[in-house]
Amino acid sequence: MTQPRVGILAIQGDVDAHAQALARVGATAVPVLAEKHLGEIDALILPGGESTTIAKGLDRLGLYEPLRAFAESGRPVLGTCAGAILLARESENHPVRTLGLIDAVALRNAYGTQVDSFAAEPDPPAAGAGETARELAGLRCIFIRAPRLGQLGPGVEVLLRVDAEPVLVREGNIYACTFHPELGEDARLHGLLVAARPAA
């Protein structure tokens, strides 16, 4: 079987660490900087970094519409931290042009300066939690100037919470997490993204 190919939007941010996490789950990382790269991949990651900078790059490279078309093709998309902000319907406090691919509102830098960065374990899966939530139990979540996702629409499923706050949500093939799953050794979320790609 050929290795799955996963694109990483490579404008700015945590591109290398995502590539290493993908290698751990047997996937090939493909840097995405142009529409043509989207045709070569099975899934896409929008990394953490600085959403304002990444949004400017998306505009300059003309990637807003191609990324929306990619999402509509049904292939999985994962946005992490700044990437989650870009997936949201809007960013409430510091406006940034978003893709509107997940029915949620992002609040940027929501944890304040006191606790800019911290690690936490997700709340134990609720009784009746789905398979994905159970597979990710105990994942170490690292937050770096993280956003919060609120005003979730009815189609948005919460897969992980920390202190009752949603930190990983899914709407169809679109996944958004407010932490950095690419840091550390545990690549379970990357594994799920690869497993979620539609059968060829």
For ligand GLN, the binding residues (CB under 6 A) are: 48-51, 81-82, 85, 108-109, 144-145, 147
Q: How far apart are CA 52 and CA 54, in angstroms?
A: 6
The DSSP code sequence of 104-165 is EEEETTTTTTTTSEEEEPPPPPPTT--HHHHHTTTPPEEEES--EEES--TTPEEEEEETTE
Is residue 135 annotated as part of the catalytic site, yes or no?
no
50 vs 135, beta carbon nearer ligand GLN: 50
Q: In whole angstroms, how close is the CB of 86 to ligand GLN at the nearest point?
A: 9
Is residue 40 annotated as part of the catalytic site, yes or no?
no
96 vs 133, beta carbon nearer ligand GLN: 96
Q: In whole angstroms, how close is the CB of 63 to ligand GLN at the nearest point?
A: 17
Residue from 37, 81, 177, 190 carrying the catalytic annotation: 81
Contact 17, 183 (CB under 8 A): yes
36 vs 60, beta carbon nearer ligand GLN: 60
Is residue 81 annotated as part of the catalytic site, yes or no?
yes
Max intra-chain CA distance, the chain: 48
Which residue(s) pair with 106 in the sheet?
A: 91, 149
> Which positions are catalytic?
81, 180, 182
